[in-house]
Structures are given as C-alpha cells and as structure tokens.
Amino acid sequence: MRFATYEDRHRRHVAVVEEDGTLFPLSGVSSLTALLTETGDLPGLLAAGTAALDGAPGPHVSRVRPLPPLQPASVRDFVTFEEHVEGVRRAVEGSVGVPEQWYAAPTFYFTNPHAIYAHRDGVPVPPGSSTLDFELEVGAVIGREGRDLTPEQARDHIVGYTVFNDWSARDLQSAEMKVGLGPCKGKDTATTLGPYLVTADELERYRDAHGFLRLALTAQVNGHMVGEDLLSNMSWTFEEMTAYASRGTRVVPGDVLGSGTCGNGGCLAELWGRRGEQDPPPLKPGDTVTLTVEGIGTLTNTVVPGAEPVPLPPGRRRTRERP
C-alpha cells in the first residue's frame, strides 16, 4: 500500500493512495507517525489501510496539498555509497578516496526532524549559502520499537520506504566540518520526504539474493538528467543499518533512516569532485529538482529565495582566568 498525508480544506488527513491517484482517507487519523505508534507494526498498518479502502473515496491526489508522509520522531542519515563518498570528499574536503574506517560500520549523523518539507513545496536557500545541492536517497521508516536488534530482527521493524532529499549547503558544510564536528547548518534547514510511504511488502519483489533492494534511482534538475544509480549499490542493507542504529539504544515508530546519497550523480557535489569544477552549477531560486525512485514515486521541489542570516560576532578569545 501507499500512504499519503495531505491537507484539504484546511484539515490534515492520512489516506491510502490507489493506483489512479484516488485517496481513501483513514477515519479519524491525521498523523501517520501517531498511527504507527498505535498499530505497532506492518500488519497493523495494512489492516488500517484495508479498512480505509472499504470506506468512501476521497479527493484525487492532484486536488489536495501534499504534506510529508510523516513527521519523523528522528532522522538518521547514513552514508552507504562508496561512489558518493569518493566524489564528495574531493569536492568538500579536498581529499581523495574512501577512508578505511568508513568500511568498519554504517556511519550516520542526526539531521533536523523539524525541517521536513513535502513534495511540491518550495525549498528556501539556507541563510548565507551560495552553494546549494540536492541529495538523492531513500528513507526507511521504522514501525515498531526495538533495541539491540539483529539484521534479521530489524526487517520486521521496517514498515515502509519513502523518497528522501537531503538538501545541502556545501559552502557552509565545508567550512563547519573543519572544526571536526558536523555537519550542522550545512544540512539543518531542509529535508524533503515523500510523496508517499510505500509499505515494505510492496518492495519485496525488488529484493536481490544479497538482501538489497534493486531500485532504479534518477535525479533531474530543470528537466535534465544529472544522475542515475541503483539502490542495490549500497554497502549495507537497510536491515543492517537499522540494527546498527538500535545498538545500545532504541529505534521507535516514526524514525527515518536515510540510505545516504547514491552515486553517479546522486548529488551535484559528487560531480564537482570528479570534474574539478562546479558543473552543473549550484542550485539557485527557480531551479526544480525531480527525484524518482522505482516502486516508490517521484519527489519534486523548486528552490525559492531564503532569509538573510542574522549576524553574529565571531567567538571571543578569552583570557582563561580562573577564580
């Protein structure tokens, strides 16, 4: 099943989306995150969707305002594609190759769950940035709480998947990571999820013999293809990533785990690193980014002007006197 969250006549709804785009609203449900917490797993979500399909149809998806399919409890963004690491390290850090430590574990950072945008939303340029980039990813959504999971156990905790665009201010990212922490403001202002949450059972037919989902990924800027890859080029499966995320802590309903950016043009910075120049150029207001993931859907956003940064003083060099 495909689940959408949308606004119609100033009210928020959650619905099952049929193939023709007809929406079947879930009675009394306005938050998919809350529904996941209540149902607790994939069978429970499917049962709620089946009940909705037995009810009256709602509007067509083209006649409502899309919202993010869910408001995440947290967002962990991994980096699981070698090709992406190679290109972006060259562009952002001036480094070559993949660090040996990268292969030790599926590294992630926490990004901002309060800056989630929807399909067709305008995405503002981050304050102070002139080097905006997109990142083509897939997000796995957790449907059931778990801790210290094995990869085998983790499969039952993934309820579905969505397209994930990790908007990145490369100039801010490059500067702040010289401190040895981050990313922070380079990744803090926008992540797009959508257009739907597609339940995990829908994608099982794409699973290969090694446990990876063989989904075709494409990225376009203003209608021009800039990247294409396969999701199965990840170095860890989503189940392995979920197990690692749960190590020593919890994953909970509504958590989103990003795959990391795919290779072969999954973002502009990778291409800049390989080509030695900013070709294609950074995104600017008016540019439209379209990301498509086989079996999940297409996510489209247009860049709009952002706010000017509020000025702050530089850090003070203190005397370090003691009482």
**In the 8-state DSSP scheme, what is residue 54?**
T
Gap between the Cα atoms of 294 and 216, Å rounded? 5
Helices (H), the chain: 32-39, 42-53, 82-88, 151-154, 170-176, 238-245, 268-275
Helix/strand/coil percentages in the chain, nearest 5: 25, 30, 45
Evaluate whether 253 touches 144 at the Cβ level (below 8 Å): yes
List C-alpha distances in Å: 208 to 41, 205, 233. 24, 8, 11
Three-state secondary structure string covering 86-109? HHHHHHHHCCCCCCHHHHHCCCEE
Pairing of strands 158-166, 224-230: unpaired
pLDDT at res. 182: 84
Dihedral sign of CA atoms 68, 235, 230, 227 in order: positive
**Residues of the chain falling short of pLDDT 50:** none
Evaluate whether 226 touches 252 at the Cβ level (below 8 Å): no
Evaluate whether 138 touches 161 at the Cβ level (below 8 Å): yes
Evaluate whether 84 touches 267 at the Cβ level (below 8 Å): yes
β-strand partners of 133: 168
Please tell me whether residue 52 adopts helix, strand or coil conformation. helix
Evaluate whether 52 touches 16 at the Cβ level (below 8 Å): yes
pLDDT at res. 304: 98
pLDDT at res. 92: 73
Helices (H), 111-217: 151-154, 170-176
pLDDT at res. 166: 98
